[in-house]
Amino acid sequence: MKEKLVVIGNGMAGMRTIEELLKLAPEKYDITVFGDEPHPNYNRIMLSPVLAGEKQFDEIILNETSWYEENGITLKCGSPVTRIDRLSRKVIAADGSEAEYDRLLIATGSLPFILPVPGHELEGVIGFRTIADVDTMLAAAKDYKNAVVIGGGLLGLEAANGLLNHGMNVTVIHLPEVLMERQLDEEAAKLLQAELEGRGLEIITGGNTEALLGDKRVEKLKLQDGREIDADLVVMAVGIRPNITLAKEAGLHCERGIVVGDTMQSFDPTIYAVGECVQHRGNTFGLVAPLFEQAKVCANHLAHLGYGRYEGSATATRLKVSGVELFSAGNFIGDEDTESIVLKDASHGVYKKLVLKDNRIEGAVLYGDTVDGAWYYELMREGSDISAHRDQLMFGRTHISDAGHGGQDSAAAMADEAQVCDCNGVCKGDIVNAIRSEGLFTLDEVKKHTKAAASCGGCTGLVEQILAATTGGDYSAPEKKPLCPCTDFTHEEVREAIEVHHLTTREAAMAKMEWRTPDGCPTCRPALNYYMLATWPAEAVDDPHSRFVNERVHANIQKDRSYTVVPRIWGGVTTPAELRAIADAAEKFEVPMVKITGGQRIDLVGVKKEQLPDIWADLNEAGMVSGHAYGKALRTVKTCIGSQFCRFGTQDSINMGIDLEKMTWGSWTPHKFKMAVSGCPRNCAEATIKDFGVVGIDGAWELHVGGNGGLKVRVTDLLCRVESREEVLEYAGAFMQLYREHARYLERTAPWIERVGLPFVKQRVVENEAQRKALYARFLESQKIAQQDPWAERTSAEKRIEFVPMQNVANA
Ligand SMILES: Cc1cc2nc3c(=O)[nH]c(=O)nc-3n(C[C@H](O)[C@H](O)[C@H](O)COP(=O)(O)OP(=O)(O)OC[C@H]3O[C@@H](n4cnc5c(N)ncnc54)[C@H](O)[C@@H]3O)c2cc1C
C-alpha cells in the first residue's frame, strides 16, 4: 500500500520537491497538495514581467492542472490548511476537508512585510507577492495616476518599473542611501539609480515613511521630514517574513523560520519543510536557487534513499527590468582580506567589480554588461583558482576563449553537475542530455524541454554555448532577432508595417502587429515612437511616455540627479548677447557650474528639475533653443576657425557649420548624430570621427560619414567630394535621411554603415541623383515640422519650454 504524503503550499519549493520525488520514486506516495492560491503552481519570479506587461499569466504556469492529474496528485486549489493535527497525523483545511499523512511537507513560503505605519490598512496599500497583487496593481494603473513603492530593493524596483510601464507616475521611497544595498555597491547603485530616473522613476533615498494618509483609500504618503507624496496606490516591498503561523500553532520548533536540519526535517521527523518558510543553520532564504537545492535533498529523503544533505547555498541575483543589466553574487563589497578588480566605463554605463581572495572569486557586481555573470558565479561556487587568466578575467569568458581558455571550449569543459540556470536549477548535464535525446537544435527548444534560460534569461549565453558545443556546427541560432520580447517582429519588419499600414499611434501599431503585451516595454516603446515619427512626421502622435526623461525635460540627467541645460550655439559661434543671457541664467538660478564642452557648447551643470521650465523660458526669451544634448537627435556641428581667420584655412568652415546646424537641428535620429566642419585638411574640428564630417580642400569639400569618437573609435569613410555649399547641404540632408529611414533605433551611424556597407550608402546618396534628391526633399519636409511645430509643445504638458522658429534666432 502507498504511503500518504500531504503538501501544504502549492508554490515553487513545494512543487519542485514533488517533481524531484516523482523522478526518484513515482509510485511511493498518494500525494495531496493544498494550495491557498486558486491556481496551479506558477513561476513567482516571473510576476515582475507579467506586471511589466512583458508576459501573460498563462505563460508562467509551471504545472498545468493536467500535470497533477497525470501524476495521480490530488490538488486542492484555493484551499488553505488551517490546522495541523500532529497526534492524529492529519491536516484540516478552511473548507473543513481533511487529509491524513504519513509524511507532511510544509512549503508555505513567506508573506510580504507590511510596515505598521498609520494608514497601512487603507484601501490601495498592498504587498507584491502573488498574481492577485499583480492584478490589483494593473487595475489601479487603469483608474489611478500616482503610485508609491516603498522599498528600493529587487522587488520594489521591479514593481516600480512595471507600474511605470503602465503610465503611472511612480515614486520609490528607499530608507538606505543607495538602492539594492544588499546586492550592489555604491558605484553600481548610482548607475542603476541614474538609469531608472532617466526612465522617469522618482527615487527618494534616505526616505523614512511616517504615515499613509487618506479616508477610505490611500491618497498620500507622508515622510518623516514632512514631505507628502501623492499616492493612489502604495506597494510595500520592504522585506518578507517566513510564513510559519501554521507550524508554530502545531507546536513545531520555529525561530525566524521553521527550524530544519540538513535532511530538511523539522523537529518532528515525519514533517519536512522547504522553501522560504524554513530556517537552516540560522539562515532564511529569499531566492529560488537554494530552495531548489533543498527540494532535491528533501525529495531524496522522502524517497527513503537516505543520502544527500543540504549544507547551504551561494546565491546570485539579477534584476528583471528590461534593458537594465545587473548581476550580483557573493561578497561583493569585500573586506580587509580581499582585493578587487574594477572596470568602469561611465559613458557606456558599464561597471564591473570582482572581489578576490587568494586568487578565488568571492563576489561580483556587474552593471551594464552581465554576459559573464553566470561564468563568474560558476568560478565562485567552484572556488576555481583564477591566477592563470587573472589579467584577462575582467574581459569575460569569450576573451579568455580567444586565448584558448573559454567560450565554447570552456562550455564543453564544464562538469555535467555544474549548475547553469539558477532560477530553475538546471545543470549542464540536464541540458546536454535533452539536446542529445530529444534532438534539440534551437535555444527555444532547449528552453521548452529543460526550462534553462526560461526565467530571468541570465544564463542564455551559457546555454547557447552548451548548445553549440553539443551540436557542433549544427547549432541554429535564431534566424531573426525580434525587436524585444513583446513581439516576434524585427526592427525592419516593424518599420515596414508602420509604413505599409500607415500606422501613426502606438496603440494602432501594437494592435496591428498583435503585440504580446498591452503597453509594450522600455525597449519597444521608444523604438516604435521613433519609427512612427520618422515615417509619418506630419501625422504621427509623439508619445511622451515613450521618451526618456532627458528628452521630456530638455536636459541631461546627471548622477546626482541634477540636470545639465545646454543651449544651442550654432556652429560653435556665440555672441555677447547670448553669453550675457547664459550668465544671467546661471546667476539667477544659482547654477553650480558653467562648463565649456568638447562640442563647443556651454553646459549649465547642476540645475534642479523644478528649475528647468523657468531657466529654459529665460534662455528662449534671449533667442536660444535647446541643444538636444540629451537626445537621439542632431547634437552639435563643431567648426574650426576656417578661411575667414585662419592662415591655413582654405574654406569657410564657420558659415558651413552654421548652415548645416540650422538645416538639421531638431531632427530626431535613431541615435545621437554629430557633425563637424574643418576648413582645411589639418582637420582641427576633428571631422573624421563624426557621423557626418566635412573637410575643406582647395576648391571643394570632402564629405565623410560613419565616424565615432567614443570608446570604440571609428574613422569615417570618405563618401565623395563636392564643390558648392548647396551640394554639402543636399548630401548631408540625404545622408541623414537615409540613416533615419534605414538604421535600427539606437544604432549609431558607425555600426549601421558596417552592417549595410558603404556601397549601400554611396549608391543612394552619391551615384543615384534622383534618389539623393528625393531623400533630401523628404528630409527638408520633415524638418519643417520638427523645427516649426516643435514636439516639445505638442506633447509635453509638464513644461513651458518653447523652441524658437529658425528665422527668429538672433545669430546670423
Ligand atoms: C515578484 C517577485 C519576483 C521575484 N524574483 C525573483 C528572482 O528574480 N530570483 C529569485 O531567485 N527569486 C525571486 N523571487 C523569490 C521567489 O519567488 C521565492 O523565493 C520563491 O517563490 C519561494 O518559494 P516557496 O515555495 O518557498 O514560496 P511560494 O512560492 O510563495 O509558495 C508558497 C505557497 O504556499 C501557499 N500557502 C501559504 N500558506 C498556506 C496554507 N496555510 N495552506 C495552503 N497553502 C498555503 C502560498 O499561497 C503559496 O502559493 C521573487 C519573488 C517575487 C514575489
Which residue owns the Cα nearest ligand 1 atom 11?
287
**DSSP-assigned letters across all residues of 135-174:** HHHHHHHHH--EEEEE--SHHHHHHHHHHHHTT-EEEEEE
| Ligand 1 atom with minimal separation from the 245 CA | 41
Is 562 in contact with 605 (CB distance < 8 Å)? yes
Residue 702: Cβ-neighbour burial (10 angstroms; 0-12, 13-18, 19+): buried
User: Percent of the chain scored above 90 by pLDDT?
Assistant: 60
Query: Model confidence at 792, in pLDDT bands (50, 70, 90)?
Result: very low
Confidence of residue 278 (pLDDT cuts 50, 70, 90): very high
Q: Is the pLDDT of residue 26 over 70?
A: yes
- pLDDT of amino acid 800: 30
Q: Is 312 left (phi over 0), alpha (psi -120 to 50) or beta?
A: left
CA distance 99 to 79: 12
Joined together, the cell numbers standing for residue 324 give: 537594465
- The length of the chain in residues reads 812
Query: What number does the ligand 1 atom closest to the CA of 46 have?
Result: 3
Helix, strand, coil share of the chain (percent; to 5): 35, 20, 40
Report how far ligand 1's centroid is from the alpha carbon of 793 (Å). Answer: 47
Instruction: Decide which of 703 and 60 is more confident.
Output: 703
Is the shortest distance between the CB of 316 and ligand 1 below 6 Å? no
* CA–CA dist 433, 467 (Å, integer): 11
**Is the shortest distance between the CB of 48 and ligand 1 below 6 Å?**
yes
User: Is the predicted pLDDT of residue 471 greater than 70, yes or no?
Assistant: yes
Sequence letter at residue 439 = G
* pLDDT given at position 477: 46
Say if residue 408's pLDDT is above 70.
no
CA 317 distance to own-chain centroid? 14
Residue 799 has pLDDT above 60, yes or no: no
Asked if pLDDT for residue 798 goes beyond 80, the answer is: no
pLDDT band at 398 (very low <50, low <70, confident <90, very high): low
Question: What mean pLDDT comes out for the span 416-430?
Answer: 81
Kindly list the distances between the CA atom of residue 434 and the CA atoms of 266, 410, 438, 443, 805, in Å, as whole numbers in the listed order: 35, 20, 6, 12, 64
pLDDT at residue 18, as a whole number: 97
What pLDDT does 322 receive?
66
- What one-character DSSP code corresponds to residue 804? P
Residue 182 CA to ligand 1 center (angstroms) comes to 20
82 versus 435: which is more confidently predicted?
A: 82
Q: How high is the pLDDT of residue 453?
A: 82
Where is pLDDT greater, at 542 or 276? 276
Does ligand 1 lie within 6 Å of residue 35's CB atom? yes
Q: Which helix (H) or strand (E) holds 125?
A: strand 125-126
Contacts of 80 (CB under 8 A, 6+ apart): 34, 36, 93, 94
Q: Are 619 and 585 in contact (CB under 8 A)?
A: yes
Q: Are strands 316-318 and 326-330 parallel, antiparallel or unpaired?
A: antiparallel
Task: List pLDDT tens digits, range 242-259.
Answer: 999 999 999 999 999 999
Choose between 318 and 234: higher pLDDT.
234
Closest residue by Cα to residue 378 from 350, 358, 397: 397
107 lines ligand 1 (CB under 6 A): yes
Tell me how far the alpha carbon of residue 664 lies from the centroid of ligand 1, in angstroms: 54
Confidence of residue 557 (pLDDT cuts 50, 70, 90): confident
Mean pLDDT score, 649-660: 92
Q: Is the CB of 44 under 6 A from ligand 1?
A: yes
Q: What is the model's pLDDT at position 307?
A: 76
Q: Is 27 exposed, middle or buried, given 0-12, 13-18 or 19+ CB atoms closer than 10 A? A: exposed
Q: Where are the alpha helices (DSSP H) in 601-716?
A: 612-621, 653-664
- Pick the atom of ligand 1 nearest to 320's CA: 8
Is the Cβ–Cβ distance between 39 and 136 less than 8 Å? no
Is the pLDDT reported for residue 386 higher than 60?
A: yes
| Share above pLDDT 70 across residues of the chain, in percent, rounded to a whole number | 93
Q: Is the CB of 246 under 6 A from ligand 1?
A: yes
Answer yes or no: is the C-beta of 124 below 6 A from any ligand 1 atom.
no
**Strands of 90-93's sheet in order across:** 81-85, 90-93, 98-100
Q: Which residue has the higher pLDDT, 308 or 694?
A: 694
Total Cβ atoms within 10 A of residue 321: 25
Tell which atom from ligand 1 comes closest to the C-alpha of 79. Answer: 43
**pLDDT band at residue 404 using 50, 70 and 90 as cut-offs:** very low
Phi and psi for 68 in degrees, rounded to 5? Answer: -65, -45
- Among 17-26, 87-96, 191-200, 718-727, where is mean pLDDT lowest? 191-200
**How confident is the model at residue 400, as a pLDDT?**
56
Q: How far is the CA of 451 from the centre of ligand 1 (A)?
A: 18
Query: Tell me, what's the pLDDT at 785?
Result: 83
Cα separation values, 466 from 394, 395, 410, 470, 749, Å: 22, 20, 9, 6, 34
List the residue whose alpha carbon is closest to atom 15 of ligand 1: 287
Identify the pLDDT of residue 409: 56
Mean pLDDT of 720-741: 97
Give mean pLDDT, residues 467-474: 70
Confidence of residue 546 (pLDDT cuts 50, 70, 90): confident
Grouping H, G, I as helix, E, B as strand and the rest as coil, residue 126 is strand
352 membership: H or E segment, kind and range: strand 350-357
476 pLDDT higher than 70:
no
Q: What is the structure's pLDDT at 660?
A: 96
For the segment 73-100, the average pLDDT, to the nearest whole number, is 97
Residue 767's identity, in one-letter code, is E
Contact residues for 576 (Cβ-Cβ < 8 A; gap 6+): none
Residue 619 has pLDDT above 80, yes or no: yes
Taking CA atoms, 343 is separated from 68, 355, 430, 710, in Å, by 49, 12, 34, 17
The residue that leads in pLDDT, 321 or 233, is 233
Closest CA to 39 of 69, 79, 87: 79
pLDDT of residue 781: 93
Q: Give the pLDDT confidence of 758-782 residue by residue, as tens digits.
A: 999 999 999 999 999 999 999 999 9
- What type of residue is 397? R
Which of 284, 288, 293, when mutated, tests ligand 1's pocket best, judged by the most ligand atoms within 8 Å of its CB?
288
Task: Give the chain's radius of gyration (CA, Å).
Answer: 30
pLDDT band with cut points at 50, 70 and 90 for residue 644: confident
Q: Is 34 in the pocket of ligand 1 (CB under 6 A)?
A: yes
| Mean pLDDT for the stretch of residues 143-164 | 94
Cell of 802: 518653447
* Residue whose C-alpha cell reads 557626418 in the numeric block: 692
* pLDDT of 570: 94
- Backbone torsions φ then ψ of 570, nearest 5 degrees: -55, 115
Q: For ligand 1, say whether the CB of 128 is within 6 Å of any of its atoms.
A: yes
197 CA to centre of ligand 1 in angstroms: 29
Q: Whose CA is nearest to atom 2 of ligand 1?
A: 45
* Residue bearing the CA closest to ligand 1, atom 50: 45
pTM of the model: 0.63
In the predicted model, is pLDDT for residue 321 greater than 70? yes
Does ligand 1 come within 6 angstroms of the Cβ of 241? no
Confidence of residue 805 (pLDDT cuts 50, 70, 90): very low
- Tell me, using a 6 A CB cutoff, whether residue 11 lines ligand 1: yes
Parallel, antiparallel or unpaired: strands 169-174 and 146-150? parallel
* Mean pLDDT along residues 703-710: 91
Instruction: Indicate the helix (H) or strand (E) that contains 466.
Output: helix 460-471
Q: For residues 486 and 514, give the distance between their C-alpha atoms in angstroms, rounded to a whole number.
A: 9
Which tops the pLDDT comparison, 743 or 350?
A: 743
